[in-house]
Amino acid sequence: MNIVVQGLGEMGASLALILNQQSDNHVIGVDTKDATRKAALKSNIVSEISDNLIDVAGQADIIILATPVSIIKQAMKELSKIILKSNVIITDTGSTKNEIMAFANSELQHVAFIGGHAMAGTHKTGVTYADERLYVGTPYFLIPNQMGQQRIKQLKTVLAPIQAHFTSIDVTAHDDLMAMVSDVPHIVAFALVNAAVKQLGPSENFGQYVAGGFKDTTRIAQSDPKLWTDVLLSNKASVLTNNRALIAELEAFNQALTADDAMNLTKMIHAAQISRQRLLVRRNDD
Amino acid sequence: MNIVVQGLGEMGASLALILNQQSDNHVIGVDTKDATRKAALKSNIVSEISDNLIDVAGQADIIILATPVSIIKQAMKELSKIILKSNVIITDTGSTKNEIMAFANSELQHVAFIGGHAMAGTHKTGVTYADERLYVGTPYFLIPNQMGQQRIKQLKTVLAPIQAHFTSIDVTAHDDLMAMVSDVPHIVAFALVNAAVKQLGPSENFGQYVAGGFKDTTRIAQSDPKLWTDVLLSNKASVLTNNRALIAELEAFNQALTADDAMNLTKMIHAAQISRQRLLVRRNDD
């Protein structure tokens, strides 16, 4: 089976690495960066490389778009204009789905498109972080267009070696969930670092006084700026709603503090403590 | 030299343990718990024990108050009413300093008081966690009242065996620093968990879809509610100021999103990324 993977970053390269190890598969890696393509080929992450999706898309049985959302949309537009194998399945790894599925339901409605999103990945970027264990046990959302509905089972079979936990979800529920559990926490990390610099000066000045709490809370502030600009804008409505919900909770703390309301402060902190302790249903980490 | 340490928890017992190893010192441990006192004496953490600070304070050259802030304030009140050695130095280990230094500058102004706060300690509590390496290389703030100013050098000499990095700081600067690097990050963690529950329902429902980012950002939401109610209220003014600074940064993200201002979003995220990367000046962790 010919599998084209566009975008050999951590997510795409990890998929390519695992799928290319299966004897039935021939994985073709597409990336705009020459060094990335060569590194992927040399490490057997892919068996063939190309700098242009359209050159290799016509021979693909599966096309995996693993770039930032804006590039996925562009690729979908290009794919909608060319002749593909009649039984091709196109999927993607974009972390927000409303714009992608809108396009999949209009210009790409004649093709089996199954939107994909795995709750995996770190803040590391690049082909060197390809990891064959990246998807093991992680939730992997699948959102098909009409043509894709009959093909979910087949896509799951192809992706089975990544050992993800596949789950069907509605596009709106997906994007609201992502806003709250991923997008807003990133904004929080960015905002907390920027607020600290405004209040205390350059981070070199206060870094020596920082303990584990600040470090944990801001770890994801090290994420890629262009990627996250793209993510936040592509999920704008849900992000705004959920960020406002967070601000309301922060204001509630300020109100309780201003009123010296120890009972309410303890109540809010206790609620958070209990909810955070009950969060851990999937893994045994903390 | 007679050194009295009140409160034989992790912080106080570690100080006592190190100071009691110096041949010139005789460390007297004060704790309300009988088992704690006996354990400390048996392990040579202290050379003498008492259940009452006032009974042993009169013979002390150094008094170290290593209890929670509310008990420190109570002990200072008791010490202000009794006769102490004329050259005694009183110090403490409280994590917020405005209330303690206000008292040190009024009722205790006739005594050399040097407020102390080490950026050390874990979530462990109790005499069994006495650790002679606890303070090695950690920043240790010293804030004197007027009588204490001439005695800082002497206190540093006494405390030298703990191998901390002693730093003088103004009380307001200290409490603002703590608000930004510790208190507000805790509020953020509490607020983010509570907002997620309001938007998505009980955390058991969405826990399986949560990745490392949300987990890292909310890890300290598991902190003790009563302890943190006390900490936040004892540093109220600084916490309010710095929490408002955070809310302003969050609003800036919402404004840029609403305006589809990708350039500004990237700029804000990039600033956070660079500052977070430059934070790590003290240790080699991430």
Kindly write down the DSSP assignment for every residue of A244-261, as one continuous string: HHHHHHHHHHHHHHHTT-
Contacting residues of B for A254, CB less than 8 Å apart = 240, 243-244
Note the ipTM here: 0.85
Q: What pLDDT, on the 0 to 100 scale, is given for residue B123?
A: 59
CA atoms within 13 A on the CB side of A93: 24
pLDDT in tens, B68-80: 888 999 999 999 9
> Shortest Cα distance from A175 to chain B (angstroms)?
12
Select the residue of B181, B185, B193 nearest A276 (Cβ to Cβ).
B193
The CATH number given to B2-169 is 3.40.50.720
Beta strands in B46-150 (DSSP E): 48-50, 62-65, 89-92, 112-118, 139-144
Of A210 and A116, the one with more pLDDT: A116
Select the residue of B182, B240, B242 nearest A199 (Cβ to Cβ).
B242
Q: What pLDDT, on the 0 to 100 scale, is given for residue B281?
A: 52
Decide: residue B157, CB within 10 A, 0-12 exposed, 13-18 middle, 19+ buried: exposed
Interface probe with B: pick from A253, A264, A286, most Cβ of B within 10 Å = A253
Contact map slice: B 227-246 vs A, CB within 8 A: 228-229, 232-233, 236, 239-246
Q: Check CB contact of A253 with chain B, cutoff 8 Å.
A: yes
Q: How far is CA A56 from CA A27, A86, A126, A217, A268, in A?
A: 11, 15, 22, 43, 55
pLDDT in tens, B140-186: 999 999 999 999 999 999 999 999 999 999 999 999 999 999 999 99
Contacting residues of B for A214, CB less than 8 Å apart = 181-182, 185
Contacting residues of A for B187, CB less than 8 Å apart = 250, 253
Q: What pLDDT, on the 0 to 100 scale, is given for residue B284?
A: 40
**B257 and A232 in contact by Cβ < 8 A?**
yes
> Shortest Cα distance from B57 to chain A (angstroms)?
32
pLDDT in tens, A151-183: 999 999 999 999 999 998 989 999 999 999 999
pLDDT of B268 strictly over 60: yes
Share of chain B above pLDDT 90, in %: 84
pLDDT of A121 strictly over 80: no
pLDDT of A123 strictly over 90: no
Q: Which residue of A has its CA nearest to B230?
A: A262
Domain coordinates of chain B in residue numbers? Answer: 2-169, 174-277
Q: What pLDDT, on the 0 to 100 scale, is given for residue B128?
A: 84
pLDDT in tens, B96-114: 999 999 999 999 999 999 9
Contacting residues of A for B231, CB less than 8 Å apart = none
> Shortest Cα distance from A73 to chain B (angstroms)?
17
Average pLDDT over residues B112-127: 84
Contacting residues of A for B215, CB less than 8 Å apart = 279, 285-286
Strand pairing class (B2-6; B62-65): parallel
Q: Would you tell me how many other CB atoms lie within 10 Å of the CB of residue A228? A: 26
Q: Which fold has domain B174-277?
A: 6-phosphogluconate dehydrogenase C-terminal fold (1.10.3660)
Tokens of B249: 């940064």
